[in-house]
Amino acid sequence: MYRYDTYDQKIVDERVAQFREQTRRYLAGELTDDEFRPLRLQNGLYIQRHAPMLRVAVPYGLLASRQLRQLAHTARTYDKGYAHITTRQNVQFNWPALEAVPEILAGLASVEMHAIQTSGACIRNITSDPFAGVAGDEYIDPRPWCEVLRQWSTFHPEFAFLPRKFKIAVNGATEDRAVIQCHDIGLELKRDAAGEIGFRVLVGGGMGRTPIIGEEISDFVPWQHIITYCEAILRVYNRYGRRDNLYKARIKIS
């Protein structure tokens, strides 16, 4: 799995320190609810009816043992002893105290984890086949490509305030366990006649109140161009996606 370098760790540690100060200011009454809302959403923190809810990123569903132990420690120490696994391969804590969230994020940062871009109108966690790397019908391992997309999309300044959340999934097996047809962008790994790797690209899928199957917009995009191809899709959506109606703001409707 991908390991943080010194720059990755520095960025995540600085983000924790920044949110610790933002939380202190909010609890001290120096920030209003409206001022704090975008700050907490950028760090994966929702406010539910009874308690905050923290969503932790697990890129393409891959966890190391030390990370799993840290998640267990978080559940025992700051929650009710358990957590939830979301459909986007994230881990969710539903009962942490708001003042404890900076400590939770600091603990996660110590094992190369964070809650960045797990909420808000941005590119969410890049997901894939839960059996990636061990599936018998896998013809190309999707995880390296998920990591490339994760690095490209994290902190992307142009796509930090999209019309709504944006979801990407990658599949490299005969059976589509990543359900790429139900994502804003679905990428299916394949090879052309020369054996070169590329992607079949689907756009506009989604579940929720208006389930729609994504449409194929390209049968084969060479791997060297997949980032610029995805960037072009997002630029069109960011420019023309609706911001006047929350329920019609997804790319599947826009």
- Domain 127-248: which CATH number of 3.90.550.10, 3.40.50.11890, 3.30.413.10, 1.10.150.20: 3.30.413.10
Rounded-to-integer distance, Cα 185 and Cα 251, Å: 9
pLDDT digits (tens, 9 = 90+) for 166-177: 999 999 999 999
Rounded-to-integer distance, Cα 60 and Cα 143, Å: 7
- The one-character DSSP state at 121 is S
CB 201 within 8 A of CB 234: no
pLDDT digits (tens, 9 = 90+) for 52-100: 899 999 999 999 999 999 999 999 999 999 999 998 899 999 999 999 9
What global pTM score does this model have? 0.93
Least confident of 102-111, 129-138, 142-151, 205-214: 205-214
In CATH, the number for domain 6-109 is 3.90.480.20
Specify the 3-state DSSP secondary structure of 61: helix
Kindly give the residue spans of alpha helices, DSSP state H, lying in the chain: 6-27, 33-41, 65-78, 101-109, 143-153, 226-240
User: What is the location of CATH 3.30.413.10 in the chain?
Assistant: 127-248
pLDDT > 90: what percent of the chain?
89
- The one-character DSSP state at 53 is E
Which residue has 């994966």 as its token pair? Answer: 44
Torsion of CA 169, 222, 122, 115, to 10 degrees: 60
User: What is the location of CATH 3.90.480.20 in the chain?
Assistant: 6-109
The phi-psi region of residue 39 (left if phi > 0; otherwise alpha if psi is between -120 and 50; otherwise beta) is alpha
Partners of 94 in the β-ladder: none
β-pairing, 91-93 vs 52-56, is antiparallel
Rounded-to-integer distance, Cα 55 and Cα 71, Å: 11
pLDDT digits (tens, 9 = 90+) for 219-250: 999 999 999 999 999 999 999 999 999 889 99
